[in-house]
Amino acid sequence: MKAIILAAGQGKRLWPLTNKIPKCMVPINGKPMLGRQIELLKKSHINNITIVTGYLGNKIKIPDVSYIRNRFYRSNEQNYSLFCARNQLNDSVIISFADIIFDNKVLSKLINFKGDCGIAVRKDWKKAYRNRNLHPISEADNVLLNGNKIIKIKKNIKNCEKNQKIVEFLGLIKLSKKGSSIFLKKFQYLNKNHKGKFHSANSFKKSYIMDMIQEMIDSGLQITPVFVDGKWFEIDTLEDIRIVEKLIKKI
């Protein structure tokens, strides 16, 4: 199994911390976010790790991992960063955002998922936005479920029917070898042929991973929610750092 970590973003909301280092290298209780992820992956025997870099990518110097540079990180988004690592989509793979911290309970649940495409979600998510004034609940990456079937994935889903529920997408994906192949073929087709708006984005190159997941759902691929209940935190603002450093001890 491989891992791809998307770490090209500039992290503007963490300035001045990201003035001289990329967002993923900002320390949380003395340890960079990215370093925490890589340690956890290696403890789970995932040693084939690729980091997609962009902003200040030369500042990321972690041994025994591979690097791919998204040269156009200023003009594109997550989806294109993943496309930069398309040559790694030839086996089962964990795809992760670089600005999240999670524990082994979350990772193990994802590793043990047996379907072709699973996305990590949590049910009890709203309480994590209490006192998070600089990253309000309206910015949550939501998933609308009908039973265990994903209907929609996008930011700030507010309404659902009685038989539906709204959960949160955690920026973690597991693809089987078959799932990776399906994703890769769809990526290649869209990159070559798609014109204009792409789901919530103005173009395919400016789209997010959630846009790609929605495209796969609309294309008939079964995307399965993987319910996790371990520790998980997103670091997006200076306020987030203060909150998370108080909450974590050993992850």
Helix axes 209-218, 177-193, angle to 10 degrees: 100
Q: Is the predicted pLDDT of residue 63 greater than 90, yes or no?
A: yes
Q: How confident is the model at residue 248 (pLDDT cuts 50, 70, 90)?
A: confident
| Gap between the Cα atoms of 100 and 231, Å rounded | 10
Q: 187-224 pLDDT, tens per residue?
A: 999 999 999 999 999 999 899 999 999 999 999 999 99
- CATH no., domain 2-247: 3.90.550.10
The predicted model gives 164-177 an average pLDDT of 98
Query: What local confidence, expressed as pLDDT, does residue 131 receive?
Result: 87
Residue 34 has pLDDT above 90, yes or no: yes
**Mean pLDDT score of the chain:** 95
Segment 127-164, tens digit of pLDDT? 999 989 999 999 999 999 999 999 999 999 999 999 99
How far apart (Å, rounded) are the C-alpha atoms in residues 34 and 68? 15
pLDDT for position 250: 61
pLDDT of res. 251: 63
Burial letters for 42-75: b for 16+ Cβ neighbours within 10 Å, e otherwise?
eebebeebbbbbbbbbeebebeebeebebeebee
